[in-house]
Amino acid sequence: MSVLLCDSNCELWHTRLKELGLDVISMPYYVKGQEYYYDMGANTDFRAFYDAVRGGEIPKTQALNPEDYKRILTPYFEAGEDVLYLSFSHKMSGTFQYLDLALAELKEAYPERKCTVFDTASISLGAGIQVEQAALMKKAGASDEEILKFLRSFTDRVAVYFAVDDLMHLKRGGRLSGFAAVAGTMLGLKPVLTFNEEGGLSVLTKQSGRRKAISYLAGKVIEELRDEDTYPVYVVDADCPEDGDRLRDLILEKRPRANVIRQIVGPVIGAHCGPGTLGVIFVADRRPIPLKKD
């Protein structure tokens, strides 16, 4: 037997995770020196988190260490179960180096067991939509090999576009130079980013103002959405629900059959993108092709 495992950076809502019967590795974040683990929205105080960030608080995230991973995986191996772990992008964190160390030690203790790690090359619901489909296949009786074969092609069809409201959050994360961040903020530029094929972040365009950024995101869904009867469209916001609703409505005006699901961005992802971020995640012919990698 095997267990399908995901991490909290996939951001599937807690009720959906229960429906799918998924086990989750929770990733930590820190606000005002206090450690929290994202609970997928079950009891998260989103308003307090985003109010703190708007007030000048700089939240932090941290990689799990090898001991954390051994603690998480050992019970499965002790029960005689293998693990298929669908992870967020390995380009976005050093935590997977620690996972590799933990797996090497566990292999010595449990030589008959295995943990297969699939890199979704995305994060937030860009990873979540892949986890969701894998879980549905698992419930229908698919083998790990069948799930992996599906994901190897499906991951390249997951389109993620998101617009960041405050460029200074990207600057702190090393995604933009200090000069570009300050200049962009003064000019009111709203960068739209995506995940490249390697799972790293790339800037696609910079829109002049909030309304144009929202229209751009809606236009991408309207133009590129495929298989709308099979897969959902996720519209996510980092504590800007009115803009998220406007984005949803623009999409549905032109694609009324789309199954649009609205959701707030969790604190771990929000710590890096900042309040006011808007994103769309959907299935296209292929993931966006950036003009350049940043």
Strand partners, 34: 31
Q: What is the predicted pLDDT for the residue at 190?
A: 82
Strand 201-208 with 189-195, pairing: antiparallel
Helix (H, G, I), strand (E, B) or coil at 246: helix
Which tokens in the block code for residue 211? Answer: 């309304």
Triad 174, 6, 277: Cα angle to 5°:
40
Is the distance from CB of 129 to CB of 98 less than 8 angstroms?
no
Is the distance from CB of 276 to CB of 24 less than 8 angstroms?
no
Q: What is the predicted pLDDT for the residue at 293?
A: 44
Going edge to edge, which strands form the sheet with 115-119? 23-25, 2-7, 82-87, 115-119
Q: Which amino acid is at 82?
A: D
Task: Categorize the per-residue pLDDT at 178 as very low, low, confident or very high, splitting at 50, 70 and 90.
Answer: very low
Task: Categorize the per-residue pLDDT at 175 as very low, low, confident or very high, splitting at 50, 70 and 90.
Answer: very low
Triad 263, 268, 273: Cα angle to 5°:
75
Q: Say whether pLDDT at 183 is over 60.
A: no
Share of the chain above pLDDT 90, in %: 82
Residue whose tokens read 């307090």: 48
Is the distance from CB of 151 to CB of 122 less than 8 angstroms?
no
Q: Which amino acid is at 234?
A: Y
Going edge to edge, which strands form the sheet with 28-31? 34-37, 28-31, 60-61
Q: What is the pLDDT of residues 116-156, one digit of tens each?
A: 999 999 999 999 999 999 999 999 999 999 999 999 999 99
Residue whose tokens read 């703190």: 52
Q: What is the pLDDT of residues 249-293, one digit of tens each?
A: 999 999 999 999 999 999 999 999 999 999 999 999 999 987 654
Q: Say whether pLDDT at 294 is over 50.
A: no
> What domains, with CATH codes, occur in the chain?
2-156 (3.40.50.10170), 157-283 (3.30.1180.10)
Residue whose tokens read 């995940």: 195
Q: What is the predicted pLDDT for the residue at 171?
A: 54
Q: What is the predicted pLDDT for the residue at 169?
A: 59
Task: Categorize the per-residue pLDDT at 170 as very low, low, confident or very high, splitting at 50, 70 and 90.
Answer: low
Q: What is the predicted pLDDT for the residue at 189?
A: 77
CA distance 133 to 10: 12
Q: Which amino acid is at 133?
A: Q
Average pLDDT over all residues of the chain? 91
Q: What is the pLDDT of residues 50-103, one digit of tens each?
A: 999 999 999 999 999 999 999 999 999 999 999 999 999 999 999 999 999 999
